[in-house]
Structure 1
Amino acid sequence: MDGNHETNLKPPATYTEMLDKFKDRGLIIQDEIKAVGILKRINYYRLTGYLLPYKLDENQYREGTTFENIVDLYHFDMRLRSLLLDIFEYVEISMRSLISYHLAHKYGVECYNEPVNFSFRKSIDYDKFISKLYEELDRSKEIFVSHHKHNYRQRYPIWVAVEVLSFSSLSILYTNMKPEDKRVICKQFGLKTNKLMDSWLHSLCILRNRCAHFSRIYDTKLTHQVALTFDAQKLKIKPNTLFGAIFTLKYLVQDQTTWSSWITELNSLLDHYNHVCELYRIGFPEDWENYLRSIPTDTSYT
C-alpha cells in the first residue's frame, strides 16, 4: 500500500461531534438542537456537498457561512430536482409517442423485433437492447401490457412496448434509429439537423437520473456536454452547465402554456432561494428568463 494513504476507516462520529467539526471550520450554527434534528434526517456527507462553494480550503469555510443557509441550499436543490423531473416527464412521454407512431407506420407494429429496421453498429448491442425490453415487458404490471400478454400470446405492438422503456433505453432506441427516421422526429421540433437530438436525449437522460436518485445538481458540471444550437452559441451558453441542458428544453416542450408555466415556477423557486443560490454556479446568465421565453430563431418553422 502507498504510505500516503490511510488504510483504516474513521470511526463513526456522534451528531455532536459532527457539529463540532462544522464549527471548527468556521460554520455558524445558531440552533444546535435543530441542527441535530436535521442531521438525523440528512446525512452529514450529503450536506457537506452543499458546503463546497463556501470552502476556502480543506479546513475553513467562508466567513459568515451558516448551517441554516446550507440547509436552505439543500432544500433549493431538492425542489429544483423535482421541478426538472416534471418537465422531463413531458419530454419523455412525447418522445415515446412520436417515435412509436413513426416506427409503427413505417415498419409495422412489431418493428422492434427486426434489427434491419435500425442502425445498431453491432448485433450484440441490438441483442442487449431487445433483451432488456422484454425483461421490462415481463416485469411490467401495467394493464395494457397484461392485456397483450394474455390475449396476444405475449406479442406487443411498438406503442405498448415503448411505454415500458426507461428514459435511458428510449435514448438508446432513438440513437440507433436510421438517419432518415431521426430526421422525421427532429422535424416535429423544427430542428434542421438530427445530430442535436442524440446529444440532448443523452444529456437529459443523465441529468434526469441524477434528479431521480437525489444527487446534487447545484454547482456541478454535466458529465456529457449538450450540443448547442446556433442561438445557444450566440448567447454564449456553456454546454456543460445545468442551464445548457435547460435551454434545450425550450425546443422540446412544444406546448407553450406548459413551458411558460414551468418557467414561472422556476423563476419563483430562484427568487425564493436567491439568498443562497448563486446563478452562475448553475450556468444561469442574468437574463436567463428572456433566454428561455424567447422564440427560437434557428428552427425550420420560424
Structure 2
Amino acid sequence: MKPSLSWDEQVALLVSRGLVVDDEVACARFLAATNYYRFSGYARYFQKAPHLGDDDFRQGVVFDEIRAVYDADEALRIALVRSLAKVELMLRSHVARVVADEHGAYGRYLEESFYTDIGDREPTVESCLRDIDRSKDRHILHYRESGINRADYSKLPVWSAVEALSFGTLSKAIERGAGGDLADAVATSTGIAKAGFAYRVRALVYLRNRCAHHSRLWHHSVLDAGPTPNNVRKKAKREAGQFEPRSVLDIIASLDDMASRAEVADPLLPRLLVEHPRDSAFWQGLVRPQSPRDHGRDTP
C-alpha cells in the first residue's frame, strides 16, 4: 500500500529520484492543480526503467522539461476539441438532411429495421432512445409526456433528434444505418470520400473521448488504428515526415482532410509543425508512440 503524500512530499519524492526541480514551490503548485498520478504518466518516459521498478530519473532531467511536454499535450487536446466539434456538428447536420430526404424525417430512423446491428452489442435504436430520453432540451421535452418513462417520439423530427445524440451514438447510426448505405450517403453529402468513412468517424469519436477526459495523447498508441485513407496518410507524411500507423497524427491527418473537404475548420497538422520542432521530445512522442518499457536503462 502506497502512503498518501502531501504535495510538498510529492516534490521531495521526485527530487529524491533525481529530478532537477529549480522551483519547488512552483512544482508543488503544479502537482496540486494537475494530480501527481497524471503527471507520472509523462514523467515515466524520463525515468530509467519504471517497468522494472527503477523510478530514478535519467541524469540531468529537469522538471520544466517534463512540464513543457505536459503543457504541449494539453494545448493539442484543446486545439483538437475545437476541430472535432466543428466536424461533429457538420456530421449531425448532414445525417439529419440525408435521413430526412431519403428515408423520411419522422419515425423511420427510430425503427430497429433501419439499422444493421452487430452481434450482442446494444441495438442502435436503444442507444438513440437512451440519449433522447436523457435530454433536457426543450425541443425534446416537448415530445415527452410527464409521468411516462418513454414517450412516443414518432413525431420527433430527425433534425431535432440528432442534437440529443452523443457523438458515439451518432457514429453508430452512420455506420449501421440503412443497411450500411447511410455512411455512403452522408460521405457524399459532405464531399468526403466514401471509402472507410464510417470507420474514420469512429476514430474521431475515439480521439474526442480521449480529449474530453484529458487523457494523454503523447506516446499514446491508438487502439482502433487504420481508418485514414492511404492518399490522405501519404499527403500528411510528405508534410510532416514519417509517423507510426498507431500515432494520433494518423487520426489528425484524417480529421484535417474531413474538415477541409467539408470547409468547416482549418487543418491542425501545419500548426503543429510550426509549434514543435521535429527533434523535440513532444514531437517524437507523437510520431513514435512507445510504452515506457521501450526506454531501456541505457537510454540517453
Q: TM-score, normalised by structure 1?
A: 0.78
C-alpha distance in structure 2 between counterparts of 1:280 and 1:232, whole Å: 21
Alpha-carbon offset, residue 98 of structure 1: 1.0
The answer to whether the Cα contact below 8 Å between 2:92 and 2:170 also exists between their aligned partners in 1 is: yes
1:210-234 Cα offsets, whole Å, 9 max, x none, are 1101111111111110323122454
Name 1:138's counterpart in structure 2. 133
Alpha-carbon offset, residue 148 of structure 1: 4.1
SS of corresponding position for 1:259: coil
C-alpha distance in structure 2 between counterparts of 1:89 and 1:257, whole Å: 10
Alpha-carbon offset, residue 172 of structure 1: 0.9
Name 2:41's counterpart in structure 1. 49
| Total equivalences in the alignment | 269
C-alpha distance in structure 1 between counterparts of 2:78 and 2:220, whole Å: 17
Q: What amino acid maps onto 1:250 in structure 2?
A: D
SS of corresponding position for 1:59: strand
Aligned match for 1:249, one of 248, 255, 267: 255
Cα 1:233–1:133, aligned 2, differ >3 Å: closer, same or farther? closer
* Structure 1 position 206 matched with structure 2 position 201: no
Name 1:91's counterpart in structure 2. 87
Q: What amino acid maps onto 1:278 in structure 2?
A: F
Aligned match for 1:113, one of 106, 110, 115: 110
* Structure 1 position 278 matched with structure 2 position 282: yes
Which structure 2 residue ranges, 5 or more long, are not aligned? Answer: 146-150, 289-300
Cα 1:54–1:168, aligned 2, differ >3 Å: closer, same or farther? same
The answer to whether the Cα contact below 8 Å between 1:243 and 1:282 also exists between their aligned partners in 2 is: yes
Cα 1:30–1:121, aligned 2, differ >3 Å: closer, same or farther? closer
Aligned match for 2:64, one of 65, 68, 72: 68
Which structure 1 residue ranges, 5 or more long, are not aligned? Answer: 1-8, 285-302
Name 2:297's counterpart in structure 1. none
C-alpha distance in structure 1 between counterparts of 2:20 and 2:37, whole Å: 17
1:34-71 Cα offsets, whole Å, 9 max, x none, are 22222221211111111132122223223222112222
The answer to whether the Cα contact below 8 Å between 1:228 and 1:239 also exists between their aligned partners in 2 is: no
% identical aligned pairs: 23
Alpha-carbon offset, residue 19 of structure 1: 1.9
Cα 1:104–1:188, aligned 2, differ >3 Å: closer, same or farther? closer
1:111-149 Cα offsets, whole Å, 9 max, x none, are 2222222222459742xx323322322332223223444
Cα 1:257–1:104, aligned 2, differ >3 Å: closer, same or farther? closer
The answer to whether the Cα contact below 8 Å between 2:190 and 2:262 also exists between their aligned partners in 1 is: no
C-alpha distance in structure 2 between counterparts of 1:15 and 1:124, whole Å: 44
Q: What amino acid maps onto 2:130 in structure 1?
A: E
The alignment yields a C-alpha RMSD, in angstroms, of 2.7
C-alpha distance in structure 1 between counterparts of 2:257 and 2:246, whole Å: 18
1:145-187 Cα offsets, whole Å, 9 max, x none, are 234447x965311111111111111111111122333222222
Alpha-carbon offset, residue 93 of structure 1: 0.9
Q: TM-score, normalised by structure 2?
A: 0.79
Name 1:156's counterpart in structure 2. 156
Cα 1:240–1:182, aligned 2, differ >3 Å: closer, same or farther? same
C-alpha distance in structure 1 between counterparts of 2:263 and 2:95, whole Å: 21
C-alpha distance in structure 2 between counterparts of 1:244 and 1:10, whole Å: 38
